[in-house]
Amino acid sequence: MTTGFFEFEGAKLHWWRWGMGPKSLLAFHGFGQHGQYFSPFARVLGSQYSVWSFDLFFHGQSVWPEPNQPLTPALWHRLIRAFLEQQGIGRFELAGYSMGGKFVLATLEAAAPQIDRMYLIAPDGIRTSFWYSMATYPIWARTFFRSLVDKPEPFYKLISGLERYKLMDKGILRFADWHMSNPDKRRKVYNSWTVFSPLRFNMRRIADLLVEQQIALEMYLGRYDRIMTPQGMQSLLRHLPHYRLEVLNTGHNGLIEAVARLIEEELRRGTRQQNYEQGGMKDQAFDEPKKGFGLRS
């Protein structure tokens, strides 16, 4: 494993790299994590891939220069293209978990002709959540969310009321409560919400890019995940003639490891081998994903 920094227009992006394989996979973690969370993919893919995993801004060792400066799609496009050029990466695959899904979609917009495959794991960015909308606009809502960093009592009253009147799933409430449990976490929530808020996507355009470039899409969700659900993914999937959708017997957490185990199992059985051997040939890579649901333990 090696690590390093990529500096661009005042931002500092920290990366982790495993393997020296001929194929490249760029991976983006979820909220509250860091780049090492994708090490299970590196373990499974072994010598076939060079796995590049990034600390997103406000996470790990990456640095965003100004919390009041939004990360626009245009800026991310420039940044990721410059990174690919610096590292000499031509063709590559993408993986994103939860919040990292937004960065997969932004990278797709930046470099679709270079991409062979995308792994979306309980991805954010397909369906805009109520919390993202409230945190970023209107102005009064943004001011309210900023105040919660130092004075979280109104948030806890809101959580208590939602739970008392059963207006929201308990799992989602626990998820929100954990991420707001101390000032550092609350500041990370606020900064991530506001700085990443411009990363929004037209699902018809995303689907067109996948189809036009014959990019294989594999999507993995948790059966007990109340945050990212199959129904919430339909705004993208309904526009696609081919994809693979697996619903694994897990919740939101632990999905990266669960997907890595599934890939490992399929490689051992030989059911993925042809696609991995032909990964650079888009017509064959595009054939495998199937339309439908799968429940796995």
Residue 75: pLDDT above 90?
Answer: yes
With contact defined as beta carbons under 8 Å apart, do 52 and 86 qualify? no
Q: Convert 76-104 to b/e letters by CB count within 10 Å (16 or more is b).
A: beebbeebbeebebebbbbbbbbbbbbbb
pLDDT band at 114 (very low <50, low <70, confident <90, very high): very high
Give me the pLDDT at residue 100, please: 96
Give me the pLDDT at residue 142, please: 59
State the Cα–Cα distance between residues 30 and 102, nearest whole angstrom.
10
DSSP state of 280: T
Residue 88: pLDDT above 50?
Answer: yes
- Start-end of CATH 3.40.50.1820 domains in the chain: 2-128+200-296
Which residues on neighbouring strands pair with residue 62, listed in sequence order? none
Helix ranges restricted to H, 148-278: 153-164, 170-179, 183-196, 203-212, 234-237, 255-269, 273-277
**Residue 274 has which token pair?**
């042809």
Give me the pLDDT at residue 175, please: 57
Pick the range with the lowest mean pLDDT from 126-130, 146-150, 165-169, 270-274: 165-169
Give me the pLDDT at residue 280, please: 33
Question: Greater confidence, 61 or 291?
Answer: 61
- What average pLDDT does the segment 206-223 reach? 97
- 3-state DSSP call for residue 250? coil
pLDDT band at 128 (very low <50, low <70, confident <90, very high): low
With contact defined as beta carbons under 8 Å apart, do 216 and 201 qualify? no
Residue 169: pLDDT above 90?
Answer: no
DSSP 83-135: HHHHHT--SEEEEEETTHHHHHHHHHHHHGGGEEEEEEES-SSSS--HHHHHH
Residue 274: pLDDT above 90?
Answer: no
Residue 234: pLDDT above 90?
Answer: yes
Where does 2-128+200-296 sit in CATH, by number?
3.40.50.1820
**Residue 59 has which token pair?**
């996470």
pLDDT band at 174 (very low <50, low <70, confident <90, very high): low
Give me the pLDDT at residue 186, please: 75
State the Cα–Cα distance between residues 230 and 124, nearest whole angstrom.
12
With contact defined as beta carbons under 8 Å apart, do 75 and 49 qualify? no
Residue 33: pLDDT above 70?
Answer: yes
Question: Greater confidence, 213 or 295?
Answer: 213
Peptide bond into 154 cis (omega under 30): no
**Residue 155 has which token pair?**
């948030």
Q: What is the pLDDT of residues 130-162, one digit of tens each?
A: 544 444 455 555 566 666 666 766 666 666 665
- What average pLDDT does the segment 23-31 reach? 96
Terminal Cα-to-Cα distance of the chain (whole angstroms): 30
Q: What is the pLDDT of residues 60-74, one digit of tens each?
A: 999 999 888 999 999
Q: Pick the closest to residue 291 from 246, 256, 228 (CA basis).
A: 246
Q: Pick the closest to residue 213 from 88, 100, 117 (CA basis).
A: 117
